Amino acid sequence: MKTYWNTTKMRNGKYCRITFLSFIIIGSLFSLSGCNGKTNAVDLNPNSIFQYSTLSALLEGVYDGEMTIGELKKHGNYGIGTFNALDGEMVLYEGQCYKITSDSRVIKVSDSEKSPFAAICTFVPDTVIKVGRSLNLKEIKHYIDSVLPSNNLLYAYQISGSFDSIVTRSVPKQQKPYKRLIEAYKMQGVFTFTNQKGVLFGYKFPKYLKDVNMDDYHLHFLSIDKSKGGHLLNCVLSDGEISVAYIRNFSLRLPDNSYFNTTVFANKKEELLKIEGGRN
Ligand SMILES: [Zn+2]
């Protein structure tokens, strides 16, 4: 059983020494307090998730919101979500917003575009785990789960490195009257890429917030050359780094439109399981 030491540069530009153990060993939990600092505007509130609308609303077809990308960016530099009319998958990465379309294009998005659902944060990892061998998505989840301090926190993740394979999806722009998500996702484009370098970013919410956001890993992919991406369905990570932020602050803003106000939220968990491909 080997113990490694590593020095990792955090998002705020400071360096922190982290401990990680070889695979299958519980990685040490790193205290953020020693390296967290306020160095720029988006670091004012690190590791606080700002979310617009709810998963329940999205499942019911509330696909239009008033939230602009520019407003979302005021709450952080990393995030995932979608766009009005369910027009593609969103990745906010290092302050730039990207849209992955249902025909697998990656487009830079302007600040004026609007979103019906997004979760944004300023990402400052608490734990960084080096991955030295091939892991499939099930193994990645199992491994991360084994190092988390609690099931009751919110978590943000970045998984960066080389992927032997990665399967993503994106849903095409919807026409009114909007279908529920269980119907809309049947029109999704599914993309399989091999030998990609890139980044997965996303969240896992606790079970008691499952109607607000997913109580399982929800990750979006962006390749390092910004040419490929989408909502993650499956992957094999060959080597890389898993960074985890523990989130204790969460703010939720709800849409201000009649569709959101009048929709009855069914909260059918089995639909989410289908949409997420059975959850790997
Ligand atoms: Zn997604």
Distance between Cα 33 and ligand 1 center (Å): 31
Evaluate the omega torsion of the peptide bond into residue 177 and state whether it is cis, within 30 degrees of 0.
Answer: yes
Distance between Cα 218 and ligand 1 center (Å): 6
Distance between Cα 80 and ligand 1 center (Å): 7
Distance between Cα 169 and ligand 1 center (Å): 8
- Residue 138: predicted pLDDT: 95
Distance between Cα 216 and ligand 1 center (Å): 11
- Residue 164: predicted pLDDT: 98
Distance between Cα 14 and ligand 1 center (Å): 31
- Do residues 138 and 145 make contact, with C-beta atoms less than 8 angstroms apart? no
Q: What is the pTM of this model?
A: 0.84
Distance between Cα 276 and ligand 1 center (Å): 9
Distance between Cα 275 and ligand 1 center (Å): 10
- Residue 44: predicted pLDDT: 54
Dump pLDDT digits (tens) for 181-191: 999 999 999 99
User: Alpha carbon 90 to chain centroid distance?
Assistant: 9
* Spans of the chain below 50 pLDDT: 1-43, 278-280
Distance between Cα 7 and ligand 1 center (Å): 31
Pairing of β 114-115 and β 67-68: antiparallel
Dump pLDDT digits (tens) for 233-279: 999 999 999 999 999 999 999 999 999 999 998 867 777 778 776 44
Which tokens hold the place of 224?
Answer: 């390092």
- Residue 271: predicted pLDDT: 79
Distance between Cα 89 and ligand 1 center (Å): 6
DSSP letters for 237-255? EEEEEEEEEEE-EEEEE--
Distance between Cα 171 and ligand 1 center (Å): 10
Distance between Cα 202 and ligand 1 center (Å): 8
- Residue 277: predicted pLDDT: 61
